[in-house]
Amino acid sequence: MHFSKSLTLLAALTSSALARHGHSARHEGHLRRQDTGSTVTLTTTNTVYVCPCDSSTSTSLVSISTPIPATTSTSTVALTSSTSTSTSISTSTSTSSSTSTEISTSTTVSSTSTAAASTTSSGASADWSSVPSSGEYCTTGFGGVTNSSGSGDTYVGNVGSPYGTNIQEVSASEASSYKYVVEFQGSNTEDWKVVIWNKIGPDGKMDGWYGNACHSFTIAAGATKYYAFDTDSQGGWTASKGSIPLNEYGSYASTWGEFDFGSTANDGWSGFDVSAIQAQNAGLTVQGMKICSVLSDGTCSSITEDAETVDNAYTAALADEGGLGGNLVAGAVRLAVTLDYSS
């Protein structure tokens, strides 16, 4: 998949380099060989998050960051108050060289202030696809942010610290408070298993889809679940009846949905697609899946069961194509995913 902004999006695996590395992957619409023996170093920005997800209180956010001597990490403190009184918060951070930095600030919040994560003064909108009119987004529940590194095929984004905390399930009422949200719509007839992974696995290798899902759940027939993703997250999900099939190399081998949310390397652009490459290369069942951008121009990417109908999506025959799927300008993203999709 190749975006007009050159987004670094994980794409489905091909088989052209199996003899060399046991697997390979197509990335940004280009074939690449990858060695799961090589690792990347993940560094963490320590962040304290206080966010207005509680619709019963009014909230204002103030964020202050400062470099800490003798270390590469930074500390960010988000200040929040639900009253009209002044609130002062002081944070002190010490490094191994015994140098410390102290942040002290005071903020007064009016009792009539509007919640930053809400489109109305009464709290988060019931419509999961709405966005906060304030432009402020909730980060409650996410872990620390890992720093990005590399470029192109080897780009490493945010995988959360602890690992996998860049992705979380949220309620329908909370969903609109977050910046990058996916709605999973279950099959109409059966329970389906879903797994979600980061491109970079927990050991720093580019092997997140080799059984290293950081979230796994069953969605009941006709049910809906919502997941929020932190900025600069790349990876995918796959779904199937029963268990998730694997190919001979241990990779998830059912139909994939792929995502890149708020890429730091590409000015905050996002992207997505549906891919049957893994399932087809393994000679396994192609499940139906459809992903649509609810915002923007409503772009969709879809494949029906056994790839009978393919629309703006990847198959094994299209593995070397670029530009398929959705290419989204910087800003909030709302993706509606239909599992067991049939046209």
The CATH number covering residue 31 comes to: 2.60.110
* pLDDT at residue 96 in the model: 37
Q: Count the domains in the chain.
A: 2
Chain position carrying tokens 């593995």: 319
Cis amide prior to 162 (ω within 30 degrees): yes
| 182 domain residue, yes or no | yes
Is a pLDDT exceeding 50 seen at residue 321? yes
Model confidence at 343, in pLDDT bands (50, 70, 90)?
confident
* pLDDT at residue 148 in the model: 93
Q: 148-162, 170-184, 188-202, 276-290: which range is least confident on average?
A: 148-162
Q: Both 151 and 279 in a single domain?
A: yes
Closest CA to 241 of 221, 257, 260: 221
Q: Both 171 and 76 in a single domain?
A: no
| 200 domain residue, yes or no | yes
| 122 domain residue, yes or no | no
Asked whether the whole model's pTM tops 0.75, one would answer: no
| 83 domain residue, yes or no | yes
Question: What is the C-alpha to C-alpha distance for residues 178 and 118, in angstroms, rounded to an integer?
Answer: 10
The mean pLDDT of 125-147, rounded to a whole number, is 91
Chain position carrying tokens 């999973």: 184
Is a pLDDT exceeding 50 seen at residue 302? yes
Closest CA to 234 of 306, 333, 322, 140: 333
Mean pLDDT score of the chain: 73
| 1 domain residue, yes or no | no
* pLDDT at residue 126 in the model: 55
* pLDDT at residue 199 in the model: 97
CA distances from 116 to 50, 52, 124, 136, 183 (A): 11, 6, 9, 5, 22
Q: Where are the alpha helices (DSSP H) in the chain?
A: 18-21, 277-281
The strands making up 62-67's β-sheet, listed across from edge to edge, are 62-67, 74-79, 44-48, 145-146
| 113 domain residue, yes or no | no
Q: Which domain holds residue 245?
A: 10-42+142-339
Q: Both 34 and 151 in a single domain?
A: yes
CA distances from 112 to 120, 124, 158, 189 (A): 12, 16, 35, 47
CA distances from 108 to 35, 50, 66, 91, 251 (A): 53, 16, 22, 18, 52
Q: 38-42, 189-193, 255-259: which range is least confident on average?
A: 38-42
| 293 domain residue, yes or no | yes
Q: Both 258 and 332 in a single domain?
A: yes
* pLDDT at residue 297 in the model: 82
Q: Which residue has the higher pLDDT, 241 or 54?
A: 241
